[in-house]
Each structure stands twice: as C-alpha cells, then as structure tokens.
Structure 1
Amino acid sequence: MKNYIHEVYIHAVISAEKLNELINSELDKKGKPKQKQSGSGAKNTTQPSPTQVFVNR
C-alpha cells in the first residue's frame, strides 16, 4: 500500500512538472509575460523544491 501511494505521488509530481512546462511554453508563445509577474505567480514557478525533497527521501 505504501508503494502504491508513493507511485501515485510521484505520478502527480511528474504531471505537475509537465503542466508547468506547458504553461511556460504557452507564455513564451505569447511574448513572455513571465518577467512582468513579480507577485505570487513568479514565486510559484520557482519552487519545485518541496516535492523534490519528498521524492529524494
């Protein structure tokens, strides 16, 4: 059961990373409004560390 939960969590992390890449590529197509986001939006894109720490355990 523990392995199953771990696999589902890793799958969710991978899906989230792919979704993030898709969003970033769409932003690139629209003329890079990423630099304009100095608020919470920019912070969220630069924080994949909590999930990586969990997977590394």
Structure 2
Amino acid sequence: MEKMLIDVALRHGLPDFTIDKWKAFLGLKKYFDKLCDCDIYTLLPNVIENSCESLL
C-alpha cells in the first residue's frame, strides 16, 4: 500500500502543505520522544509492526 502511495505522489506531486504537515508531525514526535525519554512508538502497542519501519 505504501509503495502505491509513494508512486502516486511521485507521479502527481504533493499538495503544498504536505511537507509542512510532515515536519509538524515529526516535530510532535520529537517532543513526545523527549518527554518520555524514549521512542514514543515503543510505548504504543503494535505501532512498529503495523507500520512500514523504513518510513519511521
């Protein structure tokens, strides 16, 4: 599924706000990683297993 989404994004481009949204998401992740002093994904059941690890 992820490969299909990446292919579509590469062929058709992304909306202008997408990169800013990704940066905001990663900023929130960094904030919560620092707050809990670990990778927040390790505290959430099955997040890693149900995600594409190479994109995390």
Q: TM-score range by the shorter chain?
A: 0.3 to 0.5
TM-score, length of structure 1 as denominator length: 0.47
Higher relative contact order (CA 8 A, sep 6+): 1
TM-score, length of structure 2 as denominator length: 0.48
